[in-house]
Amino acid sequence: MELVRIVVWNFLLLECIVRIDVYTAGVQWNFMIPAFASLLQKSNVHFVEIKSYMHIGRSTNRLEHSDMLEMDEVRSFADKLVQENNVFTVMDESEISRIVILQNKKRFIDRFIPAYC
C-alpha cells in the first residue's frame, strides 16, 4: 500500500512551502500526478519539497527499509509533476537526503535568505 503525506509550512504569511513525503511498497504513483499537479498549481506556493521516507528514528517501528524510495524514483516523481504542471521547475536536489526541490517560475523568489548568507 502506498501512502503520501502532505505537510504545508507557512513562513512570514507570504512565502509557503509544500512538502510531499512519499512512502512506497513498490506501487507506481502515476495516477496521483494530475491531482498533485492541480493541487500545487492552485496552492501557488514558492517551493515544493518532494522527499522519500527515510528509515530512521521511530518510523522504523511502523515502516520497513524497503518503503524508502530510491533517488531515481524521487526524481521521476518530481519530473512527472513538472511535466504535468508547467508552473514549477526543478531547482535543486540532494541525493543523500533523497529530496528534490521544485520552484514556482511565476512566483520566483531568491532561495537564499540574505541574513543567513
Mean pLDDT across the chain, nearest whole number? 78
Cα–Cα dist 53/4, whole Å: 10
- For the entire predicted model, the pTM comes to 0.76
Sign of CA dihedral 86, 40, 6, 18: positive
SS3 letters for 28-68? CCHHHHHHHHHHHHHHCCCEEEEEECCCCHHHHHCCCHHHC
pLDDT at residue 24 in the model: 65
On the CB side of 85, CA atoms within 13 Å amount to 27
Residue 117 has pLDDT above 70, yes or no: no
Residues forming beta bridges with residue 3, ordered by sequence position: 23
Where are the domains positioned within the chain? 3-116
CATH for 3-116 is: 3.20.20.70
